[in-house]
Amino acid sequence: MTAAASSVTSAATATSAAPQQMQEESNENPMRMHSNKVLQFVEQTWIGKCRKRWLLAILANMGFMISFGIRCNFGAAKTHMYKNYTDPWGKVHMHEFNWTIEELSVMESSYFYGYLVTQIPAGFLAAKFPPNKLFGFGIGVGAFLNILLPYGFKVKSDYLVAFIQITQGLVQGVCYPAMHGVWRYWAPPMERSKLATTAFTGSYAGAVLGLPLSAFLVSYVSWASPFYLYGKHLFSKCSVMKK
């Protein structure tokens, strides 16, 4: 009986010690908690040393910056798409598209048709589903659709371009409400305005920086390059925000 009781006591002690040992290992090596390679890299930089809510605000700022920057892509590229132009090296290029004013107006405004629709429903979705994953979904799908836009232009289908941009507006319309849902849980009352301002100012910076950057890429690379560049970087932000 004594041996049996001793074995039971030893097993109970080992069982209770296991969680404590795992906790100590996690504290010693917090990187083991992350399976995402991007997050592992961020943890090793100076940004990873700040409080996680501020890290989230910085990443959200960058996400909004790129998300709003993609709206400048078509505005910068269209003059090289339907008008003859001279590149910085003096070579004259002929236009590829023959759009009417009506067609151009529809393609330029179609993004906002979708963007307007999802603003209010996204608030309910952010309360029902994890808002960080909703934000990641919005920028991730928006990035994929941004990469598809040059294909839509090249096949010269106005309906396909309008459909892609409307869908892009629909999915990216959830980003603002989703980020409000994030701060509902992550922001202490005394820091809520600072964190929200840090995150949302990325939208204004994206518009300010997006137009000259898109114009530079269009002039020195090709009219399709800003679509691919912004799409690629949005994918990288999506992989971080969904975690």
Name the burial class of residue 92, with classes exposed (0-12), middle (13-18) and buried (19+) by CB atoms within 10 angstroms of its CB. exposed
**Amino acid, single-letter form, for residue 119:** Q
The pLDDT-based confidence of 31 (bands split at 50, 70, 90) is very low
Task: Quick: pLDDT tens for 110-167.
Answer: 999 999 999 889 989 988 999 988 988 888 888 889 999 999 999 988 889 999 999 9
**In this predicted structure, what is the pLDDT of residue 34?**
54
pLDDT at 79 over 90: no
Q: Tokens representing 242?
A: 């969904």
The pLDDT-based confidence of 168 (bands split at 50, 70, 90) is very high
Lowest mean pLDDT among 19-33, 141-155, 161-175, 188-202: 19-33
Q: What is the sign of the dihedral through the CA atoms of 29, 30, 35 and 41?
A: negative
**In this predicted structure, what is the pLDDT of residue 54?**
87
The pLDDT-based confidence of 205 (bands split at 50, 70, 90) is very high
Q: Tokens representing 91?
A: 């070579």
- Could you tell me which CATH number the domain at 50-241 has? 1.20.1250.20
- Give residue limits of the domains in the chain: 50-241
**In this predicted structure, what is the pLDDT of residue 227?**
92
Question: φ, ψ for residue 36 (rounded to 5)?
Answer: -80, 125
- In total, the chain counts a number of residues equal to 243
Residue 210 contacts residue 72 (beta carbons within 8 Å): yes
| Average confidence score pLDDT of the chain | 80
**Residue 228 vs residues 84, 85, 209: alpha-carbon distances, Å:** 23, 21, 17
Give the residue-averaged pLDDT of 84-108: 88
Task: Quick: pLDDT tens for 224-243.
Answer: 999 998 887 666 655 555 55
CA within 13 Å, CB half, 33: 11
DSSP H helices in 49-98: 52-69, 73-81
